[in-house]
Amino acid sequence: MNKHSTTFADAIRSRTALAGLGTGDLVRKTKIPASTYRKRMRDGTWTRDELIALNRVIHFEADDMKLFFEGK
């Protein structure tokens, strides 16, 4: 059986849920267009400004950012 590795997208989903937000709430609060958010969740090509906006709302931890920098 294959074990699913945690990805940065998983970390975003988890942090969003922990903040008590849905995806719509997150894109509204970060001002990241929904289409851009969906694309970034698929391909992981977040910009610095997008990461800052996300962090202001869902407050990443060091392990979350480690996933980002490891490209997972």
User: Which tens digit of pLDDT belongs to each residue from 1-31?
Assistant: 556 688 999 999 999 999 999 999 999 999 9
C-alpha 61/C-alpha 1 separation (Å) is 29
C-alpha 23/C-alpha 51 separation (Å) is 15
User: Which tens digit of pLDDT belongs to each residue from 35-50?
Assistant: 999 999 999 999 999 9
Q: What is the CA radius of gyration of the chain?
A: 12
pTM for the structure as a whole: 0.90
- At residue 5, the pLDDT reads 85
